[in-house]
Amino acid sequence: MKTGFIGLGIMGSRMAANLQKAGIEIIVNNRTRAKASELIANGAVWAETPADVAKQSSVLITMLGDPEIVNTVALGEDGFLKHMNPGSLWVDCSTVDPGFSREMATAAKQYGVRFMDAPVAGTKGPAEKGELVFLVGGAEADLKEVAHLLDAMGKKTLHLGAEAGRGASMKMLINALLAQAMLSFSEILTVGEAMDFEQSKLLDILLNLPVTAPFLSNVRPLLADSANATTNFPLKWMHKDLRLANKTAAELDVNTGSLQKAEELYNKAKEAGFADSDFSSIYWYLRS
Ligand SMILES: NC(=O)c1ccc[n+]([C@@H]2O[C@H](COP(=O)([O-])OP(=O)(O)OC[C@H]3O[C@@H](n4cnc5c(N)ncnc54)[C@H](OP(=O)(O)O)[C@@H]3O)[C@@H](O)[C@H]2O)c1
């Protein structure tokens, strides 16, 4: 039996490549087949449908855009879940909300399949270098079974509880912080520029303060020139994460005023044409 991998976008293609480098035989599927070319050239088996991946896998990893997409690929026509071998394990690395992970765990159980949510912290660079951090919700024994796979793709695994959705919960918190830090820094930068400070001067000073999130130094080139803007993390997925974080907070009866405002602003940026740009282009949206 092989390890199945469905979802070969920015993150999934790099994660699957690291499984290959570790000598793990993989069977892959992606909506757009062309993105699998390099993996196939390096020995991955292509499956025509998600269902075909499931039939030949004992562990199946998914790395898809959002809950709606995961739901379709798992349970829609040619979906993989009902074709998974009884006793096999589905590891969902997509960023989804904890309520959705719990729903998928219940659906998997109906087919005799084990489920683990294992979203990742880290973007394109860490995915490429095998330096992701996995945030896991699931049974300890299941985690042991796939530890060698996670180790091939990441540098650390944090086990956050036996219950499905614990990894997704932590991921919601991390990305809410990330979105807010990016947005508030971008807004302050535009105010500073309106005060007639040069952008380079502002970046030299503001990026080196203890009050500034350290990751912002890495996005400096994307703030300095929109022409540098390669997409590490698509803005549409950051908007999705804020939508899911607000949904989760509402389910827990927690007020999230600034998080709701952030969702609104990222949504406006998405609609203004920045959906597939890096999430740091919230700055370019605010400047437009
Ligand atoms: N990029 C990051 O820095 C980062 C970091 C941590 C977590 N994440 C999370 O990881 C997940 C994947 O992100 P990514 O950056 O790799 O995104 P991406 O490059 O946009 O890849 C999305 C994946 O979902 C598939 N997909 C999209 N719509 C689909 C549909 N309607 N039916 C079937 N498949 C569909 C895509 O297939 P196609 O190739 O055919 O489009 C692709 O495989 C997201 O949940 C994201 O929030 C991303």
Domain containing residue 225: CATH number: 1.10.1040.10
Q: Which of 8, 233, 35, 281 is nearest to 123 (CA)?
A: 233
pLDDT in tens, 68-117: 999 999 999 999 999 999 999 999 999 999 999 999 999 999 999 999 99
Catalytic residue among 171, 236, 240, 270: 171
Confidence band of 228 (pLDDT split at 50, 70, 90): low
Tell me, yes or no, whether 110 and 29 share the same domain: yes
Helix (H, G, I), strand (E, B) or coil at 29: strand
Question: To test the ligand 1 pocket, which listed residue (14, 46, 49, 64) has its Cβ within 8 A of the most ligand atoms?
Answer: 64
Q: Which residues span the domain enclosing 49? A: 2-163
CA separation for the pair 25, 64 (Å, rounded): 20
Domain boundary, last residue among 114, 139, 163: 163
- Listing from the earlier edge strand, what are the strands of the sheet with 2-6? 45-46, 26-29, 2-6, 57-62, 89-92, 114-117
pLDDT in tens, 117-174: 999 999 999 999 999 999 999 999 999 999 999 999 999 999 999 999 999 999 999 9
Tell me, yes or no, whether 58 and 86 share the same domain: yes
231 CA: nearest ligand 1 atom: 1
Domain boundary, last residue among 141, 163, 185: 163
pLDDT, mean of residues 213-239: 91
Helix (H, G, I), strand (E, B) or coil at 130: coil
Question: Given this model, what pLDDT does residue 282 score?
Answer: 97
Indicate the pTM of the whole model: 0.97
Tell me, yes or no, whether 30 and 149 share the same domain: yes
Number of domains in the chain: 2
Tell me, yes or no, whether 55 and 154 share the same domain: yes
